[in-house]
Amino acid sequence: MNQRPNNGPPGSVRIIAGHLRGSKLPVPDRPGLRPSSDRVRETLFNWLQPHLHGARVLDLFAGTGALGFEAVSRGAAEVLLVERDPELARSLREQATRLKVDQVKVLAEDALSWLGRSPGQAFDLVFLDPPFAAGLWEPAAAALAPWLAPGALIYVECPRNVVPTLPKGWTLHREGHTRDVHFALHRAGG
C-alpha cells in the first residue's frame, strides 16, 4: 500500500526535530514506497534520543531517507542509506548535499546482497523497514549479525498483522502500533 505521510503536502515528508527540523524530503510515487508516519517517527525517536549522539546508523531500505536523515538531525555521527532503486538513491544523495550533511552516505545497492559481504564496520542502530509486500524482514534480520555492534538497537516496522521471526539473540526493547503498522525496537545480544 502506498501511503502518504501525515502533516505535510503529498509528495514530501518533514524532519521532525534536531538541526534539520522542518526540512522536507521528497516522496516520489513509487510502488512500495511508504514513509513512516510523523507519529511513528516521533515515538521512535523519543525512544532513541538517549542512544543517538555519536551513533553509527544503517538504514537498509532507505526509500525517502526519512529515518536516516532524522537520525543525523538528532546527533548520529554517521548514517549509511542503502537503497536499490537508482532514482531514489540519486534523490537521497541530492538531499544530503542540499541539507549539507556530510555524515550521510548513500549506497545504490540491493540491501540483501550488500549484507552478504564482509562487514567493514559495525552499526549501533539499524532501521529495518523494507517495502511491506517484499517480505524481507526475516532474511535481512538474519544477515545483520556481523554488522551489529554489541548491544545494537534494531528498529523493525511491518504491517500490524505480520509477525516476522527475528533472531533469537534479539530482545524486545519497546513497541507500538497504529491502525496499519506495528513498530518495535529490539536490542541485539552481545
- In 43-190, which ranges are E strands? 56-59, 78-82, 104-107, 123-128, 148-159, 170-177, 181-188
Cell numbers placing 108: 545504490
Cell numbers placing 144: 545483520
pLDDT in tens, the chain (190 residues): 334 334 433 588 999 999 999 899 988 777 777 778 888 999 999 999 999 999 999 999 999 999 999 999 999 999 999 999 999 999 999 999 999 999 999 999 999 999 999 888 899 999 999 988 888 999 999 999 999 999 999 999 999 999 899 999 999 999 999 999 999 999 998 5
